[in-house]
Structure formats: structure tokens, C-alpha cells
Amino acid sequence: MVQSVDHQQLIGFIGLGAMGSRMITHLKGVGKLIALDADPARAAEAVVTSEAIAARSLHELATAHVVILMLPNSKIVDEVFKGSEDKKGLIDILSAGSMIIDMSSSDPTHTVANAKLAQDKGLTFIDAPVSGGINGAASGKLAIMAGGTQAQFDQALPLLSKMGSNVVLAGAVGAGHAVKALNNLLGATIFAATAEVFSVGEKFGLDPRVMHKIVNASSGGSFMSNHMWPGPVLDKTWNFGFAMQLMHKDVGVAMSLIKATGIDTVLCQDSAKIWDEALKAAKPGSDMTILAQQIQHKAGL
């Protein structure tokens, strides 16, 4: 049974980067918000945008009923959750009955392990990664794929539905992170193929804008061609808002899953190699759409 929003609950939100800073705005008024980020200025900004309290340390979230994580990778999630030799983590400071929702793009094997540790402490740890980019985060229309039990999903849904318009229970804990990684591998492969095909067309003499109009109205159209070619690629702004490093990380997580299954995936392996080379060639902090620029340069465009 889906629970209603408890406006008295204390909600911690850790990770206020490009996505998290936009997602937290949709929780304004839902409960008492406490925002924490490695950059204090981001937490201070959440005071203005979301009426949150800016926390200076993890300990200020000790009484939170729910803590949402929106962090760059599993290593950082693990550090925040489990702590380190000289710092306590959420597992040490939260009270039994509290819920941790990892909305980061984490490694599902880490997620399953963290959920087990949480359960042993009387805590709940579920995954709920997102898709939709900064536009989806800003509009509150993210796709959210959760992993956990039905009861856990029902408990988290009132909060998740504030940030996303398509919230689905993917399966047991870790399933959300697994499908997110596989989805991004698929998207990364489609993006690379689209960039190569458009480069061939332009080299032949086709107008890329005319080609884009035709492709998007035909069977070759995709989310990538629809959302990343207008603006970022065609206008050469290369600013879709998703870092190449993050896409590369998700591709790596997906490839680990593929390796674990023992399935031979030639196309996916080629895609992973392309993104490996792209990251090495790109400047730090580059947007994922820079791959299209790299492919254009290789084509002599």
C-alpha cells in the first residue's frame, strides 16, 4: 500500500551537483529538508531554492527519517554509508527504521552488499537511480527505476514521485542500478553509432540538419538523436549536461554485469572501447556529446 507524504518527516539529501541541486527543489514543503554537499556553497544554495537547512557534516543528518544520496559513484556512496577509519558513516549514525535511498548511478553489487549491512542494523537501503538528464531533474519528470521490496517501494514512492513522472519498481534491491547501467550502455552505443552515421552523411555531402529531420522521422530516430543533436551536436555547443566521465562509468558497470553473465556481446564491447578511448582523449569535465566531436574530427569534418 502506497503511503502518503509525511510532512513532519526529516529528509536528508546528500549530493547537490548538476542533478541533485535540481531534484531537491521538488521536495520543498514535503518535509523538513537537510542538504549536504562536499561544496558548502551548494548546500547554501539549497537553502534558497528548497528551503532546506544547510548541513556542515554528516552528523547533522543523524535524526533523519530518510536520506537520499545523489553522488558520483559507488566509492563515494560507500564512504558516506559505511564511513572510514576516522569518520562514521550513515550506518553508524542513523536510527533503526530509517531509510536510505541511493539515487546515484551505483554498481549494483555494492548496492546489494550495502542493503545487507543496512538490514543488519535495522535500516533500509534501496536503489532508485534516474534517467532524464538535467532537464528531467529540473522539471520533476525523471524516469526512476527502483530496487527493493514492494513495501519499501511503497514507502519511498511519495518522495520519488515528487522528482519523477515515471517511477517503476524494477525488482529486488540492486535491480534499479542494474537496469540503469544497462540502459546507459544501450544509450551510449546508440549515441556512438548515431555520431558515426551522421559523420558519414556529412562527409558524403548531406546537410546534417536535413539529415537529422529525416532520421528523427524515420526508424533510425532515437532519444539520442532527438535530444542531443538539436543544440549540443548540431550547434556544436557540446553541453547536454551529462559528463563523459559519468557515462564512461555507467558503461563500465554494465560491462561488469555482462562479464558476470558470460554472454558474448561484440557490439557492447566495441562500444565500451569507443568510450574508453573517448574519455582518454577528452579534456577533464567534458560533456558526453564531445564523443560526436571526436568522431567528426576523425572523419576530417
Rounded CA separation 260/187 (Å): 21
| 3-state DSSP assignment of residue 147 | strand
Nearest Cα to Cα of residue 134 among 39, 228, 34, 212: 228
Residue recorded with cell 552528523: 59
Q: Which residue in 121, 180, 236, 259 is the catalytic one?
A: 180
Name the helix (H) or strand (E) containing 230: none
Residues paired with 36 in a beta bridge: 14
CA separation (Å) from 273 to 3, 69, 290?
A: 45, 30, 16
| 3-state DSSP assignment of residue 163 | helix
Cell numbers for 274: 569507443
Positive/negative CA dihedral, 41, 9, 25, 100: positive
For residues 110 and 121, the answer to whether their CB atoms sit within 8 Å is no
For residues 68 and 159, the answer to whether their CB atoms sit within 8 Å is yes
- Chain-centre distance for alpha carbon 114: 18
85 DSSP 8-state letter: S
Cell numbers for 293: 566531436
In the annotation, is 87 catalytic?
no
CA separation (Å) from 233 to 74, 155, 166, 192, 196?
A: 30, 41, 27, 12, 12
Residues designated as active site: 180
